A and B are shown apart, each in its own frame.
Chain A
Amino acid sequence: MKGNALAQGQLYELYSKAMFQICIRMTGNREQAEDLLQDAFIQAFKKLDQLKEPLQFGGWLRRIVVNECIRHSKKQIRLEPWEEHLEERAEEEGMGWWKTMSLDQLHQQIKALPDGCREIFNLYAIEDLSHKAIAEQLGISESTSKSQYHRAKQLLRTRINTAIQIHG
């Protein structure tokens, strides 16, 4: 399949949109997301001969995209110090507040999270990486990863509640 422009075009058609969601959620910025998507696909097509099981292409590509996003984040990650209060953690879980808006609106709010906690939130909650793995890949401590995740959750909750109060 390598070198076959038609096949590459078809694979791009099939997967580009889903992969773009990862990039745009991680960067919160369309232009950077497009650059990352492009780099990830180029990398995937160049390494296509390393893929042993063609049916696993989607998962394999997703890992390349996530790694590309991590590489990008690592270069510029700046985390605002955040002091966590345990009682806030309990509140985060209450009432399923994340179900009070559509998935699309939730996605918009995730994209709008501040740099640093946004990447950690995505890697942990959506890409299902452990805090240990996130810490290793981003070069931060595990506790920082955890606290930034909870910071992101709190921000999301506050922003969603505010949006609901404004728009009803």
Chain B
Amino acid sequence: MDELKKYLQNHRDQLGDDAPSPKVWTGISASLEPAATPVFRIGYRWAAAAILLLMAGSAIWYWNQPTQPAQELVKEIKQPVLPTVTPSLVDTIERTITAALTKPAVKSKNMQRGFPAATPITTIHTVSELSNNDLVKMASLESSFTQVINLQKARISTTPLYAESPSYFKDFKLQMQQMEKDEKQIKNFISKNGMSDELLDQLINVYQQKLNMLKQLQNEMQKLNTRYKQNRESVDTAKTYFLNL
């Protein structure tokens, strides 16, 4: 062994006194947060809220379809129109969560029938009869989160990647698939057994986890691209690719 190597080996632990910045630990702990695992507990108190959520979701979806005759019919019979819930996505989500967690929904005959009937008029009737703040806020929970998630997904899928390969992001994809499974499971459970505080928490938790994960993925992509650009003079367009989530 040469003398310099011997000297450095003997003093290896005394070399340098640099300390990492606190953001390193913040990044580590954020990456290690456990993904939401649904815990199923049967709760009947919120059964009405579960059905309301599903009915209102279907009604709002139908309401947004660009079918002219159906909209005219709705105007003719002067059904109360559902309020537009788009002041700010974040506000809506927060208010929805608060309302959903604090106010039990009113039970009605329509709610016990499950999904609304297929005809447009019946759908609008059903929703309008049940129209109250809780209903709208709970319905907007799903659509608001979905909008934000889809927006984030769109940003990711349109960001070009210059480094690594699609397989590098395999873990992210698997996590996303797992969360989608969790979400589906919770929704199925809610539709069969009704809503409970815990289930509502779980659903919100899964949405939040999805958003967190997508944000992390975006950060990782930006980090890779920045590192690549720092170390290379130009981008190799032949190797550029896009992630398909």
Contacts and interface: CB of A to CB of B under 8 A. Distances in A.
Given A34-B23, A35-B227, A103-B15, A8 B4 contact: no
A96 B28 contact: no
Interface stretch (A49-57, A79-87, A120-128, A137-145): A120-128
Contact of B4 (A17, A20, A25, A98): A98
Interface of B: 2-5, 7-9, 11-21, 23-25, 27-29, 31-32, 34, 163, 223, 227, 231
A30 interface: yes
B23 A12 contact: no
B28 A38 contact: yes
A17 B20 contact: yes
A76 B19 CA distance: 25
A99 interface: yes
Interface in A2-53: 3, 5, 8-9, 12, 16-18, 20-21, 24-25, 30, 32-35, 37-38, 41-42, 45-46
A37 B20 contact: yes
B79 to A, nearest CB: 52
A151 to B, nearest CB: 13
Pairs of residues from A and B, 7 with the lowest C-beta to C-beta distance, nearest first: A21-B16, A107-B16, A125-B5, A20-B20, A107-B15, A76-B231, A38-B27
Contacts of A76: 231
A5 B9 CA distance: 33
Given A42-B31, A126-B9, A34 B16 contact: no
A92 interface: yes
Contacts of B31: 38, 42
Given A5-B32, A8-B32, A35-B223, A21 B18 contact: yes
A34 B24 contact: yes
B35 to A, nearest CB: 11
A88 interface: no
A106 interface: yes
B20 A34 contact: yes
Contacts of B25: 9, 12, 16
A16 B24 contact: yes
